[in-house]
């Protein structure tokens, strides 16, 4: 239960409000103030009670509405005011959500906290698209990878991603996807490795584009694809045409 000097870090899931955990829903209903990200869907935001203060602290490429350090300070300030403070993050706070960084700020300030995990985009989007992340016949492991390219550089251990028996999931990878596809091929991943781009996953607006490492640059040049997206690479993508519930 929230108390004075206490923050609850809550995963909002990938978009569908019914994917919120029961605990996440209860915490949101009890909040005095909610600090929320850009990736929290409108449907989830609609669950926040009237009268609850809402503070937008979202980020997008090259546009941080509130610097990360300031977000931590806001959490500390609201908690010290005795408000039931919720930090609401799209997906899961501990998977590319910078949740650990924000908790470090709370610890340094002596603020108590709890974490309510959420369904991360990889599992949510893959399930709604009918793409299993692992499959005994195609993939024995899965890697979650940040596709956000700092200074437009691609500094990843590409040789580790060359094995065909693993699924690669790139978060925040749309802008850098042509470079990612090129580097994977140079590292040894087959040019015809299937690739799925999932836009607005788990929402009614979900759109799935299927292509290959060799063809993805052409697809991006000829089709309108908009963030937020999740990118899945690997032979499991071939199951999309068979297992997608909407086909």
Closest CA to 89 of 45, 148, 32, 145: 45
All residues at 6 or more sequence positions from 74 whose CB lies less than 8 Å from its CB, including other chains: 35, 55, 57, 66
Instruction: Respond yes or no: is residue 77 known to be catalytic.
Output: no
Task: Please report how many Cα atoms fall inside a 13 Å half-sphere around the Cα of residue 160, on the Cβ side.
Answer: 9
All residues at 6 or more sequence positions from 21 whose CB lies less than 8 Å from its CB, including other chains: 11, 116, 117, 118
* CA 77 – CA 54 distance, rounded (Å): 15
Instruction: Respond yes or no: is residue 152 known to be catalytic.
Output: no
Q: 73 — phi, psi (to 5°)? A: -70, -35
Closest CA to 199 of 1, 15, 6: 15
* CA 186 – CA 134 distance, rounded (Å): 24
Catalytic annotation, pick one of 32, 59, 179, 207: 59
Alpha helices in 15-59 (DSSP H): 22-29, 42-45
Catalytic annotation, pick one of 16, 23, 26, 37: 37
Task: Name residue, tokens 């960084």.
Answer: 101
Catalytic residue list: 37, 59
């Amino acid at each position: 239960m929230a108390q004075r000097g206490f923050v609850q870090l809550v995963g909002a899931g990938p978009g569908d409000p019914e994917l919120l955990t029961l605990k996440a829903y209860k915490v949101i209903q009890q909040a005095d103030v909610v600090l929320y990200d850009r990736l929290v869907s409108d449907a989830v935001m609609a669950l926040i009670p009237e009268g609850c203060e809402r503070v937008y602290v979202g980020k997008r490429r090259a546009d941080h509405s509130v610097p990360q350090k300031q977000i931590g300070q806001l959490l500390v300030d609201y908690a010290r005011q005795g408000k039931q403070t919720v930090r609401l993050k799209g997906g899961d706070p501990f998977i590319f959500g910078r949740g650990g960084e924000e908790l470090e700020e709370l610890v340094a300030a002596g603020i108590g906290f709890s974490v309510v995990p959420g369904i991360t985009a990889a599992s949510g989007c893959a399930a709604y698209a009918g793409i299993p992340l692992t499959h005994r016949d195609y993939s024995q492991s899965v890697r979650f990878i940040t596709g956000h390219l700092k200074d437009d550089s691609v500094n990843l251990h590409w040789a580790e991603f060359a094995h065909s028996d693993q699924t690669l999931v790139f978060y925040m990878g749309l802008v850098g996807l042509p470079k990612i596809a090129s580097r994977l091929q140079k590292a040894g991943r087959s040019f015809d490795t299937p690739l799925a781009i999932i836009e607005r996953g788990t929402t009614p607006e979900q759109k799935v584009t299927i292509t290959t490492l060799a063809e993805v640059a052409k697809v991006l040049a000829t089709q309108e694809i908009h963030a937020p997206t999740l990118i899945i690479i690997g032979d499991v993508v071939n199951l999309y045409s068979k297992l997608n519930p909407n086909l």
